[in-house]
Structure 1
Amino acid sequence: MAPEIRRRLRPGSALGLLAAAAVTTLALAVPSQAQAQGDTIVIARDTDFNTLDPSRSWCDSCQIYLTAVYDQLVRIGKDNETLEPRLASEWSVSDDGKTYSFTLDPKATFSDGSPVEAGDIAFSLMRLKNLKAGASFLADGIESIDTPDAKTVVVHLAAPDPEFLGKVSSPYGAIVNADLVKEHGGTAGPDADKTDQGEAWLLENSAGSGAYVLKSYRPDDELRLAANPNYWREAPAADAIVMREVQDAVSQMQMLQSGGADIAMQIDPDTAETVGSPDVVTELVPSFNFVYIALSPGAKDLEVPLGPKVREAIGLAIDYDGLLEVTTGGAADLIASPVPTGFPGTKDLPMPAQDVDKAKALLAEAGLGDGFTLVAAYPETNIYGVDLTIMMQKVQQDLAKVNIDVKLEPVTFAVWRERVGGDHIPLTAVYYAPDYYGSGQYANYFGMVPGSPWYGRAGGENAEGLANGRMAELLEEVRTAAPEDAAELYHEMALEMIADRVIIPLVNPKLVLAYRKGIDGVRYAVCCNLPLEELSKQ
């Protein structure tokens, strides 16, 4: 018998009204000292920090932190597509697409008042590449960096990369004060992954040129930022930003209604509709974020091989429309491939659909008609308003209809990271927010090509035939393609990833922006989910 799924509470239902009353009651119970004070903006969020070291970071919360405390050479504009100057006032690209030259803004300074110079750029980007950590794949194409003078940076790529500017605009293109990081053990040489000792210091200090500086950090509790007194651009309106660890949507809304928080970042649509306070504003906006499940054909101790027919059957067994209702009350869209709808190459992709009969037939062809057991470990979190446990309970029920017994194992992020990168996880669930506007990040991250992050997590080295040769060819072709041709190549890449059925996107949720009246600047941003430097408090 399949377990009962905890469905989202619909407004007007008895349970929905009870939840609303509970939020109101809890709000009244919050003591006055919890109130957000003065020009300090308090954010309630279920954080997923793996580190605060810019070159080792890889998480949604990291994106928010890195764009507040550090600058990049360029950054995406408010239209979520156009690149704008940041540390670089101008740039150019060679005819062969392999050399990028940047001129630094002479006004740019770090938080200690020292100037941002070409050596800082070279150190930061090479450290990102050579640490071989979270987002290092974004810098893999860098061959060398020249610094002919203090304000000129010349980056040489091993091959053309039309998305290189997008990559350095991402939060992980953060530029650090090289002298300061070196002083505290940081290195950027080819052996940085073995010799760098800078992370411990960067967990307690920042070394950036952004609008804020790190004041303090207590893991799983609170991140506190203070306005950068030497900020070289327009000073931020808020004196301080505090991000408090609050896991569930009801507790986040409780803090918002009581004044204990100014912004709540993971409110689901149903909780938003239960709000009765005139002091709270909620907006439902589209996003490029998505939640997905992933299969690991090379995981250790699989009960049965997860070959192409089995992976296709798993994809066909899922009730996608039902998942949208269960996870978000319908406030979400289907997503065809591991590339967000609206990015280059996603037009007219086939949307997923359930076909239980075909799924059963494929399993029978694979000799697995009687079923098997599949372990599913995933981070126990609520992301973009989607509770991963609720989502996985629905997946569990769907797969039970084709005789696949899914054993759910919700775990902490730390445990999940260790398992997904160690013996791998047969079935998992996780999420992705864009690092910049461009489809190449998805093809390089999710594509079944040796060296890609998910080829490794899927145990590609242990799974015969998982490498997708055509995907590798397309990635090579797009390097020199004209923009109009690149979209067609990305379209074909998306189809290849759909056919591989290692990454199966489930939900593209609309985001609830929830904040108190008097808070301005709250918006969804491709670069970082929420740009902190734009926030102000009346």
Structure 2
Amino acid sequence: MKPALNRQLPSWTHLRLAAALCVGVSALAMLPEGASAQDSTLVIARDIDINSLDPSRAWCDTCQIYMSNVYETLIGLDKDNKTLKPRLATKWEANADQSKFTFTLDPGAKFADGTPVEAKDVKWSMERLENIKGGASYMMDSVKSIDAKDAHTVVVTLSGPNSEFLNILTAPYTGVVNSKVASANGAIAAPGADTADKAESWFMQHSAGSGAYELVDYKPGEELRFKANPHYDRTKVGVADIVIKQTKDSVTQAQQLESGNVDVAMQIDPDTAKTIQADTVSVETIPSYNFLYVALSPGAKDGGKLLTKEVREAIGLALDYDGIIDFTVGGAGRKIASPIPNGFPGTDGLTLPQQNLEKAKELMKKAGHAEGFELNDAFPNMNVYGVDMSLLNQKIQQDLAKINIKVKLTPIEFSVWRDRVKSEGIALTTLFFAPDYYGSAQYVQYFGMIEGSPWWNRAGGKRDASFTNPQTETVLTKALSASEAQKDGIYKQLAQQMIDDRIIIPVVSPDLVLAHGKNITGVRYSACCNLMMDEIGRQ
């Protein structure tokens, strides 16, 4: 039953607790009889949002965790979330304008089957990532050629300067795959792989990486299970067996953590965290780079034509950003000005959004919609970063009702949402984003209204190109060749352009709750990789 538009929504905590009563008993029964956090297997509670386990097709937050721990990248991101460190590449060199990079591989690195990691695998993996044309393929857009000079030397030449290319290589989606094993099971790296490659089903139950862990089993909607890679020696793995258990809501994750049925809970919201009383549980709340956003698609078939620039601006002004933060995360979050997270290059000094209903109504009148209209809001029915997306969208529904936009809420499974937004589009939706590496270009390439970008496509650019912003691509090219001293100012221009486009409207950057048993060590937030499982141990 939808809440009345003129009625105060129930308190955030009470809604969550009520939801937990419905699902708590069945969720607690997920673990095998007698299992507890004291068993050798480390248990992580998480709402699993996997779209694929294929390294070139995976594109989700849980995918980040999977890829980071199963497929090693050439370069890693250190604990400060900014500094690059060696991983598969022991060293690297760049030419003067950062358009050519030479990598020297660790001669001792091995895949989980014991075969060595070689330059040919790096070349094959990068080419497949580009040619599969999945969500992360844009990371290879600037690559002109990849040469395996010998078994341990790779030279990557770009089509132009790219000051963020080394940062890109910390992203888990650039992990290196055992090309021989993958090819034997239908994987193709050559052009045309997006239609000819047949390996995805194999990857859903097998892995072919050199990371700290390898895949044991994946049961959609139930669990993702790992075991330590016996040939991994970059760090000493503290736990041999790990399972991520499907656990949808924040309250149930907290209950399981307090009862000892799980060791780590990844999506406890700050408000629920305050209710945890068990002295066996450690809880720490920290700022994050993650955010949730409203996305408007003028080219969507279900009402996109209504979303003119004036209407999009009105929607942005109608949102109660302070109220959203209070309602979704109990105040434990931050406003975010643009689709570049706070703390990344280009975000200092941006004006944070504020609700302005009077101006929003003026814009609606100017657009010929003073009496408003109806709009469908289809969104993934998930809990992400501690935010229940159904509750977030109820708050958005109430806010937009104040400018006479009647929003119909349609919660759907993530897989259904993904297919729909790619095909016919969704006029109004909400989604979430976590960084793939430290650097601002990824946000411009993903959210900017550049022809062919992921959100240009999702917003219906092929059906209605009126919102395309060609200046964004021009300024991005300038940013990628800029000096460190120039970068911040140029990315600030790009951030402002995306604010003005009013296609992506960030609404909350939730603080992150690190919640785990006090006997668990090494749990931290990684800006590229979410959770580094090889750092986790049990006392």
Rounded to whole Å, the distance in 1 between the matches of 2:537 and 2:13 is 33
Q: Report how far residue 214 of structure 1 moved.
A: 0.5
Query: Residues 156, 310 of structure 1: CA spacing in aligned structure 2 closer, same or farther, 3 A cutoff?
Result: same
- Whole-Å Cα distance in 2 between the matches of residues 237 and 375 of structure 1? 48
Q: CA deviation at 1:90?
A: 0.6
State the Cα distance separating 1:301 from its structure 2 match. 3.6
1:95 deviation in Å?
1.9
Which position in structure 2 is the counterpart of 1:524? 525
Distance in 2 between residues matched to 1:182 and 1:28, nearest whole Å: 41
Question: What's the offset of the Cα at 1:32?
Answer: 5.8
Q: Partner residue of 2:270?
A: 269
Q: What is the SS of the residue equivalent to 2:462?
A: helix
Question: 1:9 matched to which residue of 2?
Answer: 13
TM-score (norm 1): 0.96
Give SS of 1:234's match.
coil
Q: How much identity, in percent, do the aligned residues show? A: 50
1:321-360 → structure 2 map (5 Å cutoff): 321-360=322-361
Aligned partners of 2:94 and 2:507: how far apart in 1? 38
After the TM superposition, which of the residue ranges 102-111 and 20-29 deviates more from structure 2?
20-29
Tell me what 1:488 maps to.
489
Amino acid in the other structure paired with 1:230:
H
* 8 Å CA contact 2:27, 2:247 repeated in 1: no
Deviation at 1:232, TM superposition (A): 2.9
3-state SS of paired residue (2:169): helix
Q: Report the Cα distance in structure 2 between the residues aligned to 1:93 and 1:25, rounded to whole angstroms.
A: 56
SS at match of 1:64: helix
Aligned-residue offset at 1:273 = 1.1
Residue 142 of structure 1 and its aligned partner are, at CA, apart by 1.1
The alpha-carbon deviation at position 27 of structure 1 amounts to 11
Could you tell me which amino acid in structure 2 is paired with residue 93 of structure 1? Answer: A
Q: Which runs of 5+ in 2 are unaligned?
A: none
Deviation digits for residues 192-247 of structure 1 (CA, Å, limit 9, x no counterpart): 11111111111111100011111111011011100111113223010111000010
Q: Take 1:394 and 1:18, find their aligned partners in 2: how far apart are those partners?
A: 18
Corresponding residue number in structure 2 for 1:243: 244
Aligned to 1:454: 455
| Residue 475 of structure 1, CA deviation | 1.1
1:202 corresponds to which letter in structure 2? Answer: F
Indicate the residue corresponding to 2:381 in structure 1. 380
Provide the C-alpha distance between the structure 1 equivalents of 2:120 and 2:438, rounded to a whole number of angstroms: 27
Shift of 1:385: 0.6
Question: Structure 2 length normalisation: TM-score?
Answer: 0.96
Q: Separation in 1 of the partners of 2:438 and 2:182?
A: 30
Superposition pairs of residues 159-170 of structure 1, within 5 angstroms: 159-170=160-171
* Aligned amino acid, residue 346 of structure 1: T
Q: Structure 1 residue 223 and structure 2 residue 224: aligned? A: yes
- Once residues 210 and 156 of structure 2 are traced to their aligned partners in structure 1, the CA distance between those partners, rounded to angstroms, is 21
For the residues of structure 2 that align with 1:403 and 1:197, how far apart are their CA atoms? 49
Q: Is the 8 A contact 1:34 1:259 kept in 2?
A: no
Letter in 2 for 1:401: K
Paired positions, count: 534
1:18 CA displacement:
9.4
* Equivalent pair of 2:171/2:436 in contact (CA under 8 Å): yes
Cα distance 1:478–1:25, how it changes in 2: closer, same or farther (>3 A)?
closer
Give the superposition deviation at 1:37.
4.2
Measure how far apart 1:110 and its partner are.
Answer: 0.7
Q: Distance in 1 between matches of 2:28 and 2:368?
A: 59
In structure 2, distance between residues paired with 1:349 and 1:184 = 49
The one-letter amino acid of 2:271's match is D
Secondary structure of the corresponding residue to residue 34 of structure 1: coil
Alpha-carbon shift at residue 96 of structure 1 (Å) = 3.1
Aligned partner of 1:418 in structure 2 is 419
Residue matched to 1:137: 138
Unaligned runs of 5+ in 1: none
Partner of residue 46, structure 2: 45
1:55 aligned onto 2:60 = no
Please report how far the alpha carbon of residue 26 of structure 1 lies from its aligned counterpart in structure 2 after TM superposition.
10
Q: 1:124 to 1:24 in 2, by over 3 A?
A: closer
**Which residue number corresponds to residue 507 of structure 2?**
506
In the alignment, the residues of structure 2 paired with residue 493 and residue 351 of structure 1 have an alpha-carbon distance, to the nearest angstrom, of 16
Distance 2:58 2:331 in 1: 32
Three-state SS of the structure 2 residue aligned to 1:33 is coil
Q: How far apart in 2 are the matches of 1:51 and 1:258? A: 31
- 1:157 and 2:153 correspond: no
- Give the aligned residue type for 1:9: T
- Aligned-residue CA RMSD in angstroms? 2.1
Look up the SS of the partner of 2:49 in the other structure. coil
SS in 1 for 2:149: strand
CA distance in 2, matches of 1:413, 1:20: 20
| CA distance in structure 2 between the aligned counterparts of 1:128 and 1:161, rounded to whole angstroms | 18
Q: CA deviation at 1:7?
A: 2.8
Q: Deviations over 1:71-123 (max 9, x none)?
A: 00001110000010000011111123221110001111111111110000000
**Structure 1 CA distance for aligned equivalents of residues 262 and 193 of structure 2:** 40
The AA in structure 1 aligned to 2:216 is K
Distance 1:18 1:7, change over 3 A: closer
Q: What residue number does 1:279 align with? A: 280
Q: Quote the offset at 1:39 in angstroms.
A: 3.0
User: Cα deviations across residues 17-50 of structure 1 (Å, max 9, x unaligned)?
Assistant: 9999999999999986131343321000001000
- Name the SS of the counterpart of 1:391 in structure 2: helix
Counterpart residue type for residue 529 of structure 1: N
The aligned residue for residue 465 of structure 1 is 466
